[in-house]
Chain A
Amino acid sequence: MTSSLLHPGIILIAFGLFIPLIKNRLIVLLFPIASFIILFSLDNGTIIKLDYGNYELILLSIDKLSRLFSYIFLLILFATAIFSINQDNKSEISSAFVYVGSSISVVLSGDLITLFIFWEIMAITSTIVIWSGSKQSYYPGIRYLAVHLLGGSILLIGIIGYANTTGTLAFGLMSPDNIFSYFVLAGFLINAGAPPFSSWIPDAYPSASWSGTVFLSAFTTKTAVYVLIVGYAGYQFLIYVGIFMIFYGIIFAILENDMRRILSYSIVNQVGFMIVAVGIGTEIAINGASSHAFTHIIYKALLLMSAGSVFYITGRTKCTDLGGLYKTMPLTMICGIIGALSISAFPLTSGFISKSLTVQATVYEELKILWLLLTMASAGVFLHAGIKFPWFVFFQKDAKIKAQDPPKNMRFAMILLSALCILIGVFPGVLYSILPYDVKYVPYTLDHVSSQLQLLMFSGLAFFILLKYLKRTLTITLDFDWFWRKFGVLVVSLFDTYLLKKVHTLIHSIDNLGTQTIRSLHKHSGPSGMLGRSWSTGNMALWTAILLGLFLLFYLFA
């Protein structure tokens, strides 16, 4: 009985709360291992159930897909815990563990209420991770929290409505005829970084610390991808959402100057690929979405570790301030390049064997336009992340920055993830065997390798030919968040100066009227008022006698 109560996510949350008390940070590394052992020892199926009135809460339910997502979450938590051993801010590490524990609990939950509870814990703890960054993290953190609480409210409306109309809380493929399933979908999409709320990713993530950004990159958007796979596979609408995100990510990353913001835009781009795959919804597409989530979590963490190391050592994040670090930070450069090659889906890296599944899904479904768009986007990924990030940080001009590779633990974490990127790329069978559906696809054919190399190398040529147009400037790019950061503020200030004055006088006169009414009521019915005061017993008796007398007289003469 007790053994079946061990929950891999909740135990991680419990561990996380104890982290501030722990002195030796190596002990922290044992937590994801413990959680992994618990998960590994559990069989697939529903394991922890609670009865709650007419509904059933399923706290722990495991299948191939949720197992895949939980494993990668634990793996990246382990690697990032190594990377952040020298992060002195304990509130960051502690809240990061609670955040990851609740992400795993979302993935392992079998009903919408349990999912919602952990969904909200994720929002709060990830905000604390952001706030642990610096003083400048305060406002981005508030904006981040506002977006996620809005998403959470929409999700809750959807869940309550859905449970009321269908009579079930079970989380599976959502009925497309039920209006409330679209509220749930909207809630999920906000966490995935879909328009018009994509800007929370490049706004909030880069304002966390050098290690905080690595923690943040993996979980919120990927739990969203997971719940979209479970609830909304085959919803064609998602293809359009995904395509928008893919090209939004590329274009905004091309215009961006801050390296960690470039990589954040690139998260939107990559999640876009996954959402397109969810929208296609066939077996190979779902395999594509889940394997892409798996490999993306690794190489994006690797890229952000590389960028985080540069930030940790030099204190700089802007491309215009960086350059020439290949001489002083060679290991950081090599690991960054391995991450960049993986995200670009170079043969022999993890990206090649995962993204190909999604692209192949469009071929099987004969979606020509979509295939052309995804292929264009693959070229664009190399352009905005694959070359742009390493080139501007480690090469271009020599910025003459004094630097060296980061401490041992950070180097080790980067080497670990680099090795994984290559191992998964060279031996795709391992990842393919844990995907939700059987994989018959063979990524390494002469045809496919040559096509991909042509595509990428000629994108590289385009990059260097267009280099002078890609030169970075000290600018930011407006996004949808302009509407609430600028336009909203303007509306409120107009309201303040013009409308509020009139409203104020109106409220004042209503207030006066109210006061006068209350006063007159008080005068007549208050404790000393004619109608309200208490009477003496003698008076009462006299008046009763008079009334009875009148009644008698009336009775006699009637």
Chain B
Amino acid sequence: MLNSTIKKLWISFLFILAILFFSDLLIHRHDYFGIDGFFAFPSIYGFLSCIFLVFVSKAIGIFLKRPEDYYDE
């Protein structure tokens, strides 16, 4: 893809993210457990969860990753 197309895609993606993030000002979300009533909780929690999961798998990968032919006789 052209660099300019990629740039446009990024801009529209960030625009959507901003709308969703600030939609919390208008939409009253239920809070069942207290913590989830926090401003833009799903955005923040989703983002941090993914970073956490990627780094956990990276850490596990250090110990458990092997070359593809590991099991070949």
The answer on a CB contact under 8 Å between A255 and B60 is: yes
Question: CB-CB < 8 A to A366: which residues of B?
Answer: 32-33
A380 touches B50 (CB 8 A): yes
Residues of B within 8 A of A368 (CB): 33, 35
- Interface of A, helix, strand, loop or mixed by DSSP: helix
Enumerate chain A residues within 8 angstroms of B13, measured Cβ to Cβ. 460-461
Q: Which of A371-379, A423-431, A512-520 contacts B (4 or more CB under 8 A)?
A: A371-379
Q: How far is the CA of A476 from the CA of B67 in the complex (A)?
A: 6
Over the window 237-259 of chain A, the binary record of Cβ atoms lying under 8 Å from chain B Cβ atoms (1 yes, 0 no) is 00000000001001110110100
Q: For chain B, what secondary structure do more than half of its interface residues adopt (helix, strand, loop), or is it mixed? A: helix
Q: With an 8 A cutoff between CB atoms, is A524 at the interface?
A: no
**B49 sits at the interface (CB 8 A):** yes
A383 touches B53 (CB 8 A): yes
How many interface contacts (CB-CB < 8 Å) are there between A and B? 137
Q: Which residue of B lies closest to A445 (CB)?
A: B30
* Residue total for B at the interface (Cβ-Cβ under 8 A): 42
Q: When A250-B53, A251-B53, A457-B20 are in contact, do A376 and B65 touch as well, CB less than 8 Å?
A: no
B17 close to A461 (CB less than 8 A): yes
Interface residue count on the A side (C-beta < 8 Å): 45
Residue numbers in A under 8 Å from B65 (CB-CB): 255, 473, 475-478
Say whether A455 contacts B33, CB under 8 Å.
Answer: no
B2 touches A (CB below 8 Å): no
Separation of A469 and B68 alpha carbons in the complex (Å)? 19
With the chains together, A446 CA to B54 CA distance in Å?
A: 30
State the CA gap A183–B49 with chains docked (Å). Answer: 36
Q: Which of B16, B33, B41, B66 contacts A457 (CB 8 A)?
A: B16
Contacts of A458 in B (CB 8 A): 17, 20-21, 42-44, 46-47, 50
User: Which of B30, B47, B68 has a CB less than 8 Å from the CB of A459?
Assistant: B47
- Chain B 47-73, CB-CB to A under 8 Å as 1, else 0, gives 101111111111011001111101100
A454 at the A/B interface (Cβ < 8 Å)? yes
- Closest Cβ neighbor of A470 among chain B residues: B54
Q: Is the CB of A462 within 8 A of B51?
A: yes
How far does the Cβ of A320 sit from chain B's closest Cβ, in whole Å? 10
For residue A485, CB closer than 8 A to chain B, the reply is yes
Asked if A251 contacts B60 (CB within 8 A), the reply is yes
Q: Which of B16, B57, B60, B68 has the most CB of A within 10 A?
A: B57
Shortest Cβ distance from B69 into chain A, in angstroms? 9
- Give the distance to chain B from A543, nearest Cβ to Cβ, in Å: 71
Contact of B40 among A255, A454, A476 (CB under 8 A): A454
- Docked Cα-Cα span, A485 to B72, in Å, equals 10
Query: Which residues of chain A come closer than 8 Å to B64, judged between CB atoms?
Result: 255, 477-479
Closest to B32 in A: A363
Looking at A379, A452, A478, A486, the one whose CB has the most chain B CB atoms below 10 A away is A379
User: Does the CB pair B54–A450 fall under 8 Å?
Assistant: no
* A453 CA to B54 CA, complexed, in Å: 20
Given that A363-B32, A455-B43, A457-B20 are known contacts, is A251 also in contact with B57, CB under 8 Å in the complex?
A: yes
Report chain A residues within 8 Å CB of B8.
none
Known: A454-B46, A455-B45, A458-B44. Contact between A254 and B57, CB under 8 A? Answer: yes
B residues in contact (CB < 8 Å) with A: 13, 16-17, 20-21, 23-24, 27-30, 32-33, 35-36, 40-47, 49-58, 60-61, 64-68, 70-71
**What residues make up the interface of A, taking CB atoms closer than 8 Å to B?**
247, 250-252, 254-255, 257, 363, 366, 368, 371-372, 375-376, 379-380, 383, 446-447, 450-463, 466, 469-470, 473-479, 485-486
**Could you list 20 further interchain pairs (A-B, Cβ under 8 angstroms) beyond the known A247-B53, A254-B57, A458-B20?**
A255-B64, A371-B36, A375-B45, A376-B45, A383-B53, A450-B23, A450-B29, A451-B42, A454-B21, A455-B46, A458-B44, A458-B46, A466-B50, A466-B51, A474-B68, A475-B65, A475-B68, A476-B65, A477-B60, A479-B64
